[in-house]
């Protein structure tokens, strides 16, 4: 069975600073994808970034980047130059290439301090 | 191109009533997925449907819950005889193909069901 663990229920960061959200996962499969989703108070689920497990290069989307450590099964999200609009719940998620489900972690609530 | 549309956005039901949640996938998407988010939890898979077929219902509670995706019209998640523990946000997602590419779904904004 696949699991995703986010050990930080809440985090705070000063506006314009950098913050890293942690995620670990477990799977015996070798072909999978990892995601970070953002859920603002509007409840909309927004895909922030995705990573293919077979790629060693870390994915980057503007101010968002990941640190993918496959051997350690770690997938952290770094947000640079934090903005007030980044305040949200962030979910780490895993999908196997052969499956149709996404397995989500419990989320980390990120607060941005002005 | 409208996104995944879910309605209603909020739904209040008394214990024992039926709840019907609707999901219209993105245009051209024939694969629909339902997820449930309990308070302070991540989303959990419930069911995967294609038009007129249930492909995977391994996450559906065995009783009171059912889902359909007819040839015409939206996908419906139906909860009979609701109980307080059914209070949650229910999300629908759609994709044009099965999730073999790991592109991630396009989610709707969810329906928040409150059972009183």
* Rounded CA separation A78/B38 (Å): 27
Q: Assess whether pLDDT exceeds 70 at residue B1.
A: no
Tokens describing residue B28: 């051209």
CA distance A107 to A72: 20
Q: Which pLDDT score is estimated for B99? A: 67
Say whether B109 and A104 touch across the interface (CB within 8 A): no
Percentage of residues of chain B with pLDDT beyond 90: 77
List Cβ neighbours of A2 (8 Å cut-off, separation of 6 or more).
Answer: A25, A26, A27, A29, A94, A96, A103
Considering only CB atoms, which chain A residues are within 8 Å of B100? 97-98
Q: Is 90 exceeded by the pLDDT of residue B65?
A: yes
A48 Cβ contact list (under 8 Å, min separation 6): A35, A36, A37, A38, A61, A64, A77, A90
Q: Can the peptide bond before residue B44 be classed as cis, meaning omega within 30 degrees of 0?
A: no
Tell me what pLDDT residue B22 has: 98
Question: HEC string of B49-84?
Answer: EECCEEEECCCCCCCCEEEECCCCCCEEEEECCCCH
Among chain A residues, CA nearest to B109: A44
Q: How far apart are CA B91 and CA B10, in angstroms?
A: 12
pLDDT digits (tens, 9 = 90+) for A14-68: 999 999 999 999 999 989 999 999 999 989 999 999 999 999 899 999 999 999 9
pLDDT band at residue B41, thresholds of 50, 70 and 90?
Answer: confident
- Provide the pLDDT for residue B96: 84
Tens of pLDDT along A59-82? 999 999 999 999 999 999 999 999
Q: Which residues of B touch A (CB under 8 A)?
A: 31, 33, 35, 40-45, 48, 55-56, 59, 89, 91, 93, 98-105, 107, 109-110, 112
| Res A114 pLDDT > 80 | yes
10 Å Cβ neighbour count for B18?
11
Q: What is the DSSP letter of B9?
A: S
Judging by DSSP bridges, how do beta strands B53-56 and A60-61 pair with one another? Answer: unpaired
Residue B89, pLDDT > 60, answer yes
Question: How far is Cα A5 from Cα A7, in angstroms, rounded to an integer?
Answer: 6
- Please state, in angstroms and rounded to a whole number, the distance separating the CA atoms of residues A80 and B49: 38
Dihedral (CA of A76, A56, A98, B34) sign: positive
Distance CA A30, CA A70 (A): 10
The answer to whether residues A83 and A112 touch, using CB atoms and an 8 Å cutoff, is yes
């Amino acid at each position: 069975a696949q699991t995703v663990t986010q050990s930080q229920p809440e985090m705070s960061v000063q506006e314009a600073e950098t913050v890293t959200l942690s995620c670990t996962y477990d799977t015996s499969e070798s072909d999978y994808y990892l995601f970070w989703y953002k859920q603002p108070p509007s409840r909309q689920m927004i895909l922030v970034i995705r990573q293919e497990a077979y790629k060693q290069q870390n994915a980057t989307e503007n101010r968002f980047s990941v640190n993918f450590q496959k051997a350690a099964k770690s997938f952290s999200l770094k947000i640079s130059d934090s903005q007030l609009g980044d305040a949200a719940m962030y979910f780490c998620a895993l999908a196997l290439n052969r499956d149709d489900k996404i397995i989500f972690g419990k989320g980390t609530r990120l607060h941005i301090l002005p | 191109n409208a996104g995944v549309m879910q309605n209603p956005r909020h739904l209040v039901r008394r214990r024992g009533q039926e709840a019907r949640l609707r999901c219209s996938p993105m245009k051209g998407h024939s694969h629909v997925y339902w997820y449930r988010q309990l308070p302070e939890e991540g989303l959990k898979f419930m069911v995967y449907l294609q038009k007129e077929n249930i492909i995977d219902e391994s996450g559906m509670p065995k009783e009171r819950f059912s889902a359909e995706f007819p040839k015409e019209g939206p996908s419906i998640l139906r909860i009979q005889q609701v109980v307080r523990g059914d209070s949650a946000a229910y999300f629908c997602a759609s994709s044009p193909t099965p999730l073999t590419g790991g592109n991630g779904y396009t989610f709707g904004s969810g329906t928040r069901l409150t059972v009183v």
